[in-house]
């Protein structure tokens, strides 16, 4: 894989993770447990879609086939999406949404921090801006993980079962794709092994405060899964997201 | 004017206060939370402000319906930002209402029990993407006409909330109008979508201003106390006058064969509103009344354990802090 193709693939992944997770969060809009969370979750969704637009836009520029962020978001099929399976899982209850968000925010934060130092200037610029936003997302989701874990008996049980479910998909975050391997070599992207250990220590700290337990004995779901492998849920998510744009190909909105 | 029953038993002291109060608001003075105010004034404001807050919150539902299907990333972001603003408006107006001595929880309970009203416009369905344009343009547009007046309301916290909110409503209106303008310049299917949305949303938008003046029991009192500065019909006329040229400018037709410019009055005359439809929706039998309330109840019920967890956690932290401070 040449380094340009690797970069495009990786940028699509960064964009797709955020587009898909932003979609899941936006499903809460108008239905959150309290109005303050309608605002917070919508705000995070908005940041994620904004980041997705920048990453996909850069992917399209480097690809050089005239595809902009919208073309990439709305006119690729599910098999072409490069997101992690973790982000496409249905939103579940508030506990699942929060726990999944926390695990992803911690991953996103450390990845973006590292990418802010990337040898690729366009990428480092977007990553630096996105890392600042993600620091807020992480604070929000970490606070809720602790609140739910150490709240009531019911919230503890719900948060633990959310953690058991989401945890099984986190292994895939750290299995490098061929593109990620190429980019780690050239200093464009960080090495995922090193990233896993910083991610793990920030996760450990919050989980300890939350009184929850990491289900380490559970086998990872989809052994060997990595970025770009999907569940059945992505197809229906994209069917919804892309339906209007695809019904009017070539239209301007 | 004969005194209302509720105030007929006023003590001489209260009668003097009422007189001073009315003189103050009559001169355009503001009323602040700690000031004396007639009980009826307080009740009317709680009713208006909580209805307004509920409308912001319930209004998130029809528009939220299109977030996941917005046809471009930019439109998706603008819509997310708009719906988030509406949640912020709801929160802000609930806080404003609390200055009158009620709490948000009570107000929300009244909404969920079906005892409090919200704007009937949100009981209509959003069937196509163009409805998002029509809502921004017409519904936020009508809200601006109403709220520009309320920004001068005699109750200080309400007036200040309206000033702040109106700025955002202007942005909402612009994005909606821009959606409609883009659609009407687009493919034949897009233009048809825009016209269809306008056909469905025009009359309900006019109904947003409430019953006609001959049929509006609260108006006189609200105007006397400086809460409202204009009547429902005056506001409705202002909205029609503003909107007719906007529709023309983007090549869409308002669904009213009686629409005519009156050279003498310099106003647009319009046809008769279907008041039967208006009352049907107000009384709870519009196309989506049931769904909207159910969605709010579901969010509230499903979220009960989350609110309980947050309270329990906060209580533990407070206990902990007290223990370490002691
Ligand atoms: Fe609003
Ligand atoms: Fe608005």
pLDDT at B220: 87
Give the torsion through C-alpha atoms of A48, A52, A55, A59, to 10 deg. Answer: 170
Nearest-angstrom CA–CA distance, A18 and A129: 14
Nearest-angstrom CA–CA distance, B23 and B43: 20
pLDDT at A213: 96
Q: Distance from B123 to chain A by nearest Cα, in Å? A: 15
Greatest extent of chain A over all pairs of C-alpha atoms, in Å:
54
Looking at the partner chain, which of B68, B88, B298 has a beta carbon nearest the beta carbon of A240?
B68
3-state SS assignment for residue B267: strand
Count of pairs with CB atoms under 8 A, one residue in A, one in B: 138
- How does residue B8 score in pLDDT terms, banded at 50, 70 and 90? low
Does residue B133 contact residue B176 with C-beta atoms inside 8 Å?
Answer: yes
**pLDDT tens digits in sequence order for chain A, 253 residues long:** 899 999 999 999 999 999 999 999 999 999 999 999 999 999 999 999 999 999 999 999 999 999 999 999 999 999 999 999 999 999 999 999 999 999 999 999 999 999 999 999 999 999 999 999 999 999 999 999 999 999 999 999 999 999 999 999 999 999 999 999 999 999 999 999 899 999 999 999 999 999 999 998 777 777 778 999 999 999 999 999 999 999 999 999 9
Q: Is residue A64 domain-resident?
A: yes
3-state secondary structure A209-233: HHCCCCCCCCCCCCCCCCCCCCCCH
Picking from B113, B122, B101, the residue whose alpha carbon sits closest to that of residue B49 is B101
User: Which residues in chain B are closer than 8 Å to A50, comparing Cβ atoms?
Assistant: 77
Q: Does A54 touch chain B (CB under 8 A)?
A: no
CA-derived radius of gyration, chain B: 22
Nearest residue on chain B to A96, judged by CA atoms?
B306
Mean pLDDT throughout B300-311? 98
**Domain around A144:** 3-214+227-247
Q: pLDDT digits over B283-295, tens only?
A: 999 999 999 999 9
Q: pLDDT digits over B127-172, tens only?
A: 999 999 999 999 999 999 999 999 999 999 999 999 999 999 999 9
pLDDT at A98: 98
pLDDT at B217: 80
Structure tokens at A184: 């780690």
Question: Cβ separation of A152 and B309 shorter than 8 Å?
Answer: yes
Question: Cβ separation of B72 and A52 shorter than 8 Å?
Answer: no
Q: Is residue A253 domain-resident?
A: no
Does residue B22 contact residue B154 with C-beta atoms inside 8 Å?
Answer: no
Question: Cβ separation of B77 and A53 shorter than 8 Å?
Answer: yes
Q: Is residue A221 domain-resident?
A: no
User: Which residues in chain A are closer than 8 Å to B190, comparing Cβ atoms?
Assistant: 248, 251
The structure tokens 């934060």 sit at A109
Question: Cβ separation of B80 and A42 shorter than 8 Å?
Answer: yes
pLDDT at B129: 98
Looking at the partner chain, which of B69, B308, B309 has a beta carbon nearest the beta carbon of A244?
B69
Q: pLDDT digits over B37-73, tens only?
A: 999 999 999 999 999 999 999 999 999 999 999 999 9
pLDDT at B2: 45
Does residue B64 contact residue B90 with C-beta atoms inside 8 Å?
Answer: no
Exposure string over A202-221, b if 16+ CB within 10 A, otherwise e:
bbeebbeebebeeeeeeeeb
> What are B267's strand-pairing partners?
B262
3-state secondary structure B77-94: HHHHHHHHHHHHHHHHHH
The overall pTM is greater than 0.90:
yes
3-state SS assignment for residue A28: coil
- How does residue B91 score in pLDDT terms, banded at 50, 70 and 90? very high
Question: Cβ separation of B75 and A253 shorter than 8 Å?
Answer: yes
φ, ψ (nearest 5 deg) of residue A186: -90, 5
φ, ψ (nearest 5 deg) of residue B29: -75, 155
Nearest residue on chain A to B187, judged by CA atoms?
A251
Angle between helices A35-63 and A121-149 (to 10 degrees): 160
Query: Which DSSP string do the residues of B93-161 spell out, in sequence order?
Result: HHHHHHTTT--HHHHHHHHHTT-S---GGGGS---STHHHHHIIIIIHHHHHHHHHHHTT-SBHHHHHH
Strands B260-262 and B267-269: antiparallel
**Per-residue DSSP letter, B214:** G
Picking from A134, A133, A130, the residue whose alpha carbon sits closest to that of residue A58 is A130
Complex ipTM? 0.97
A:120-149 residues touching chain B, CB 8 A cutoff: 146-148
Q: Is residue A9 domain-resident?
A: yes
Nearest-angstrom CA–CA distance, A144 and A134: 15
Share of chain B above pLDDT 70, in %: 97
Q: Is residue A219 domain-resident?
A: no
Nearest-angstrom CA–CA distance, A11 and A59: 5
Query: Does pLDDT of B6 surpass 80?
Result: no
Q: Is residue A222 domain-resident?
A: no
Q: Is residue A186 domain-resident?
A: yes
pLDDT at A1: 82
Residue A252 backbone class (left: φ over 0; alpha: ψ -120 to 50; beta: rest)? beta
How far apart are the CA of B86 and the centre of ligand 1, in A?
4
The structure tokens 């932290």 sit at B317
Does residue A250 contact residue A71 with C-beta atoms inside 8 Å?
Answer: no
Query: Does pLDDT of B4 surpass 60?
Result: no
Task: Determine how many CB atoms are found less than 10 A away from the CB of residue A224.
Answer: 9
Question: Cβ separation of A49 and B81 shorter than 8 Å?
Answer: no
Selected residue of B58, B63, B68, B187 to mutate for chain A interface (largest A Cβ count, 10 A): B68
The structure tokens 């049907």 sit at B280
The structure tokens 């108006």 sit at B219
3-state SS assignment for residue A68: coil
Greatest extent of chain B over all pairs of C-alpha atoms, in Å:
78
Task: Determine how many CB atoms are found less than 10 A away from the CB of residue B51.
Answer: 17
Does residue B227 contact residue B154 with C-beta atoms inside 8 Å?
Answer: yes
Q: pLDDT digits over B218-259, tens only?
A: 888 999 999 999 999 999 999 999 999 999 999 999 999 999
User: Which residues in chain A are closer than 8 Å to B305, comparing Cβ atoms?
Assistant: 152, 154-155, 158
Nearest-angstrom CA–CA distance, B244 and B240: 6
Whole-number Cα distances in Å, B230 to A61, A132, B121, B222, B236: 55, 47, 21, 10, 10
pLDDT at B320: 79
Give the torsion through C-alpha atoms of B71, B73, B74, B78, to 10 deg. Answer: 80
Q: Which residue has the higher pLDDT, B220 or B80?
A: B80
3-state SS assignment for residue A31: coil
Q: How many residues does chain B have?
A: 326
CATH number at residue A84: 1.20.1260.10
Any residues with CB less than 8 A from the CB of B281 and at least 6 apart, and which? B120, B123, B204, B207, B287, B289
Selected residue of B66, B71, B192 to mutate for chain A interface (largest A Cβ count, 10 A): B71
Query: Does pLDDT of B326 surpass 60?
Result: no
- CA atoms within 13 A of residue B184's CA, in its CB half-sphere: 21
- How does residue B325 score in pLDDT terms, banded at 50, 70 and 90? low
Any residues with CB less than 8 A from the CB of A150 and at least 6 apart, and which? A156, A209, A210, A211, B313, B316
Q: Is residue A252 domain-resident?
A: no
Nearest-angstrom CA–CA distance, A162 and A210: 13
Question: Cβ separation of B308 and A154 shorter than 8 Å?
Answer: yes
* Count: domains in chain A: 1
- CA atoms within 13 A of residue B322's CA, in its CB half-sphere: 6
């Amino acid at each position: 894989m040449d380094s340009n193709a690797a970069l495009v693939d990786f940028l699509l992944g960064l964009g797709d993770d955020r587009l898909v997770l932003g979609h899941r969060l936006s499903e809460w809009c108008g239905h959150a447990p309290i109005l303050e969370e309608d605002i917070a979750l919508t705000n995070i969704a908005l940041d994620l879609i904004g980041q997705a637009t920048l990453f996909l836009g850069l992917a399209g520029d480097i690809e050089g086939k005239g595809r902009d962020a919208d073309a990439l978001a709305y006119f690729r099929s599910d098999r072409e999406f490069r997101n992690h399976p973790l982000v496409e899982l249905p939103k579940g209850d508030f506990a699942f949404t929060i726990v999944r968000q926390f695990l992803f925010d911690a991953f996103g934060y450390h990845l973006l921090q590292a990418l802010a130092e990337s040898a690729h200037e366009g990428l480092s610029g977007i990553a630096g801006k996105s890392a600042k936003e993600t620091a807020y997302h992480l604070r929000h989701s970490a606070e809720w993980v602790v609140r739910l874990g150490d709240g009531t008996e019911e919230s503890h049980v719900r948060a633990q079962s959310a953690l058991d479910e989401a945890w099984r998909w986190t292994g895939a975050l750290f299995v490098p794709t061929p593109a990620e391997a190429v980019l780690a070599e050239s200093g464009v992207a960080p090495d995922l092994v090193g990233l896993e250990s910083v991610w793990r220590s920030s996760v450990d700290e919050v989980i300890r405060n939350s009184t929850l337990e990491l289900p380490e004995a559970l086998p990872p779901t989809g052994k060997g899964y990595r970025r770009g492998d999907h569940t059945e849920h992505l197809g229906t998510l994209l069917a919804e997201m892309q339906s209007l744009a695809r019904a009017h190909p070539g239209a301007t909105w | 004017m004969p005194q209302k029953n509720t105030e007929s038993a006023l003590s001489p002291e209260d009668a003097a206060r009422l007189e001073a109060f009315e003189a103050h608001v009559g001169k355009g003075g503001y009323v602040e939370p700690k000031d004396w105010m007639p009980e009826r004034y307080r009740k009317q404001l709680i009713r208006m402000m909580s209805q307004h807050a509920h409308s912001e919150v319930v209004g998130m539902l029809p528009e939220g319906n299109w977030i996941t299907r917005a046809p471009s990333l930019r439109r998706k972001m603008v819509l997310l930002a708009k719906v988030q603003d509406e949640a912020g408006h709801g929160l802000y107006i609930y806080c404003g209402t609390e200055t009158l001595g009620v709490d948000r929880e009570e107000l929300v309970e009244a909404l969920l029990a079906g005892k409090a009203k919200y704007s009937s416009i949100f009981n209509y369905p959003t069937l196509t993407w163009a409805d998002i344009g029509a809502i921004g343009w017409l519904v936020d547009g009508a809200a601006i006409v109403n709220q520009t007046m309320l920004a001068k309301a005699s109750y200080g916290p309400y007036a200040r909330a309206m000033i702040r909110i109106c700025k955002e409503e202007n942005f909402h209106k612009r994005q909606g109008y821009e959606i409609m303008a883009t659609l009407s310049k687009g493919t034949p299917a897009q233009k048809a979508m825009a016209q269809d949305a306008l056909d469905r949303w025009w009359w309900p938008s006019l109904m947003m201003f409430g019953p006609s003046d001959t049929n509006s029991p609260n108006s006189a009192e609200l105007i006397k106390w400086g809460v409202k500065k204009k009547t429902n019909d005056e506001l409705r006329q202002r909205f029609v006058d503003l909107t007719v040229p906007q529709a023309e400018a983007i090549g869409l037709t308002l669904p009213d064969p009686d629409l005519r410019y009156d050279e003498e009055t310099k106003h647009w005359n319009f046809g008769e509103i279907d008041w039967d439809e208006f009352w049907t929706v107000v009384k709870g039998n519009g196309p989506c009344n049931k769904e909207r309330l159910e969605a709010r109840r579901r969010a509230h019920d499903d979220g009960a354990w989350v609110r309980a967890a947050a309270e329990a956690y906060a209580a533990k932290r407070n206990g902990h802090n007290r223990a370490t401070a002691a």
